[in-house]
Chain A
């Protein structure tokens, strides 16, 4: 859970004390917002994965985080070989001198994640048919436990160093009004937004996207007009797992790669998805932003919520939104017939 690393926080504190006497602490505020943006992007992409699956299959995938972590490990293995070392082996060893090993490894991991997601849908979710909510929750919780412990078994529970995707050294940031906007934050947002644009294009302008939207709205009607519902859902799961994989690979550097890495992130992603509306991709983006910002800003400005309690505002906002407006900010209201 590393939003502000101690180092950046120290920097911003120092910066703040210097500027405080002159201009309040707007710079500190800006700095905190910039720091929060990185996490927001991660939350948004994992929330997006949750939303895609909820929209199509109508279930909350509790294993989303673990599936994503698994792909991050795959990227790690691709980079450094099956015997995890810091350098050598893997892609970097096989094709020396190839400049883009990290992006290549991440793309490989995303593809593996998509295949695994599709396989999960086909093997575990589809055979259950329209089972009860509890059964679906059980399946995903079972998957969470199994994947988590297998990762611990294969790669150990100790944290691993995952190379940074974007330059994130000491001086590598933009300076905006005295606050540091790191290259990695900009890069993550660039990736997230471009993938989102691709997703929108896919959904709006391709046959598969049309089929997916039809299935989300009404599976039975979609089936009647000749859409293969199962297959479409499988693609949906692949897509969602791809998003999850991206989130895990991009954040693995800052939170350190370990089997339970995404578990905490998943809680925030749930909060983000709920806040935005569980069936709205736009909501996932906005929810991720809000949750990420509140996670950093509220502990900083509300005295009795320490950084240790930073999970509280996120979960509280989730509960409150569920009680006031269960559909979330952008979700569609569900009307049930009894």
Chain B
């Protein structure tokens, strides 16, 4: 299908409908995660979302401001240790610690950023790597009572558990066996959501535009009146603050903090997530976090049956695969997963922007010169192929549960394309009724609507059944 499957004018009713479909997918994903996954898998998901926040922090400096700062593991550590110390020693609540952590992170960002941002490029990378490398040892200093606060080499546990208050027990998944991790999941999702909203708006604001301008052309930005040191330092401090927030979430989720968790290796993980997700995009940070944690998990799962070494929970194979992926992405997909996904979605849906007078800048028909029937055919394929793949996946699962299980999970996800097929089918039928399509379209369009509808029904029934099972 060379023409996009769906062509809509920006802001039109159709466009809104497609956006709603996207939001539905997102909501379904968020809702089903605590219901479908096992408790330890929810823990992994929590970890992934925390990494997303941290990667967003790195992205703010590296991706949006073009400064090569690689030491955010230290800021995470600061946030985590402040939280652990306040909650454990001073008996504060997590929500009380939150503003403190944000402010401490901001101040640390100013303290480090003010001198560090005077240097650029690889030199800045060196300074920030020094910061990441030295942090785990700083935690152990006996002077000033630091080691007492941080627990030194033994790390610090937080005995207060995060459990749902009674008025929040209606949250999906919170009651029952997976209660603890599911509640933490919702707390983390809330924090992540607020962060995303704030950062998106920040980047659209005047200082945010200045940050982007510095990345694109530093001298040009200065000429246009951007105060370089102030904007750079403030951006770095906001990023550090965000990194500390990730640290707080880490402590909240794990209940245990040690200097060994915040080494240079964590900083490398953040960079990997950044590059794999997509440098300079907000969605990229989200995807990157999920990717880092789940690929690590996947390699661990296949390391064990293959008889490979496993260390600290993840095999050395994990690092090899990450190294390879990092190199491959740098060569073949420098825009990360987001750019790949955009390539796919451009085939799927084309949003035509409007002129100021409210007309599409190009007529919608110009995107499908005489190829109307292929569109309905493609929709039929979308409706038919996923169930076939699904069946194949289940068959494979029966043969070999382990490696293929992950594959089958991916295949199962393809059934989510059914609603798309249904909508495209009904769209084409409407166009046919209005006399805009040849009669040959009617058959496939009907088929796509029927099969897609069945698939959608299946998805809905599955989701409802999950809900009913857990309540």
Q: Which residues of A contact B (CB under 8 A)?
A: 59-60, 124, 127-128, 131, 133-135, 137-139, 141-150, 152-153, 156-157, 267, 270-271, 274, 304, 308-309, 311-312, 315, 318-319, 322-323, 326, 338
A304 touches B330 (CB 8 A): no
Instruction: Establish whether residues A138 and B326, one from each chain, have CB atoms under 8 Å apart when the complex forms.
Output: yes
B130 within 8 A of A: yes
CB distance from A67 to the nearest CB of B (A): 13
Instruction: List chain B residues, Cβ under 8 A from A318.
Output: 126-127, 130
Count B interface residues, CB 8 Å. 48
- A141, A148, A152, A338 pick with most chain B CB within 10 angstroms: A141
Pairwise interchain contact B320-A146, C-beta atoms closer than 8 A: yes
Min CB gap A153→B, angstroms: 5
Q: Which residues does B use to contact A, with CB under 8 Å?
A: 62, 68, 70, 115-116, 118-119, 121-123, 125-127, 129-130, 133-134, 137-138, 140-143, 218-219, 268, 271-272, 275, 279, 308-309, 311, 316-320, 322-327, 329-331, 334
Q: With CB as the reference atom, state the residue of chain B lying closest to A124.
A: B327
- The answer on a CB contact under 8 Å between B311 and A157 is yes
- From the candidates B125, B268, B318, B325, name the one contacting A149 in the complex (CB within 8 A): B318
**Which residue of B has the minimal Cβ distance to A318?**
B130
Apart from A137-B125, A318-B130, list 15 A-B contacts with CB within 8 A.
Answer: A138-B275, A141-B272, A142-B327, A143-B327, A146-B323, A150-B316, A267-B130, A267-B133, A318-B127, A322-B123, A322-B126, A323-B115, A323-B119, A326-B123, A338-B218
**Cβ-defined contact, A323 with B126, below 8 A:** no
Determine if B316 and A149 form an interchain contact, defined as CB atoms under 8 angstroms apart: yes
Contact B140–A141 (Cβ < 8 Å): no
List the A side residues contacting B70 at CB < 8 Å: 137
- Decide if the interface of chain B is mainly helix, strand, loop or mixed: helix
Q: Determine the distance from Cα of A71 to Cα of B279 in the docked complex, in whole angstroms.
A: 34
Q: Report which residue of A124, A146, A149, A309 has the largest number of chain B beta carbons within 10 angstroms of its beta carbon.
A: A149
What's the minimum C-beta distance from A290 to chain B, rounded to whole angstroms?
16
B137 touches A311 (CB 8 A): yes
Chain A contacts of B115 at CB under 8 A? 319, 323
A276 to B379, CA, bound (A): 64
Is A308 a contact partner of B140 (Cβ separation < 8 A)?
A: yes
With A and B bound together, what is the CA distance between A326 and B334 in angstroms? 30
Contact B330 A138 (CB under 8 A): yes
Q: Could you list 9 A-B pairs, sorted by A, with CB under 8 Å?
A: A133-B122, A137-B271, A141-B272, A141-B326, A149-B317, A153-B317, A315-B134, A323-B119, A326-B119
Interchain CB contact under 8 A, B134 and A311: yes
Residues of A within 8 A of B140 (CB): 308-309
Q: Which residue of B lies closest to A323 (CB)?
A: B115
Please tell me which one of the listed residues A127, A153, A271 contacts residue B320 in the complex, with CB atoms under 8 A apart.
Answer: A153
Taking the closest CB of chain A, its distance from the CB of B139, in whole angstroms, is 11
Query: How far, in Å, is B270 (CB) from chain A's closest CB?
Result: 11
Cross-chain contact A309 with B137 (CB below 8 angstroms): yes
Contacting residues, chain B, for A311 (C-beta < 8 A):
133-134, 137
CA distance A209 to B116 in the complex (A): 36
With CB as the reference atom, state the residue of chain B lying closest to A146.
B323
A152, B326: Cα distance in complex, Å: 19
Which residue on chain B has the smallest CB distance to residue A315?
B130
Please determine whether B126 and A274 come into contact, CB atoms closer than 8 angstroms.
yes
A135 to B330, CA, bound (A): 6
Please measure, in the bound complex, the distance between the C-alpha atom of A148 and the C-alpha atom of B311, giving whole angstroms.
13
Report the bound CA distance from A308 to B147 in whole Å: 13
Known: A135-B334, A319-B127, A323-B119. A149 touches B137 (CB 8 A): no
Give the chain A neighbours of B123 by CB distance below 8 A: 274, 322, 326
Instruction: Report B209 CB to chain A, min CB distance, Å.
Output: 20
Contact yes or no, A60 B326, CB < 8 A: no
- Chain B positions within 8 Å of A131 at CB level: 330
* Least Cβ–Cβ distance between A226 and chain B, in angstroms: 30
The distance in angstroms between the C-alpha atoms of A170 and B127, with both chains bound, is 40
**Cβ-defined partner of A312 (8 Å) among B118, B137, B322, B325:** B137
Contact in complex: B126, A133 (CB < 8 Å): no
For A149, what are the chain B residues with a Cβ–Cβ distance below 8 Å?
Answer: 316-320, 323
Cα–Cα, bound, A26→B68 (Å): 45
Closest to B268 in A: A141
Contact for B133 among A135, A145, A156, A315, CB less than 8 A = A315
Residues of B within 8 A of A60 (CB): 122, 125-126
The CA of A322 and the CA of B112, in the complex, are separated in Å by 13
A134→B143 contact, CB < 8 A: no
Closest partner residue, chain A, to B115 (CB atom): A323
Contacts A128-B331, A338-B219: A156 and B309 contacting too (C-beta < 8 A)?
yes
Q: Which residues of A contact B121 (CB under 8 A)?
A: 133
Contacts of B118 in A (CB 8 A): 323
Contact B279 A134 (CB under 8 A): yes
Interchain CA distance A40-B317 in the complex, whole Å: 34
A149 and B303 CA atoms in complex are apart in Å by: 13
Contact A138 B327 (CB under 8 A): yes
A274 to B129, CA, bound (A): 13
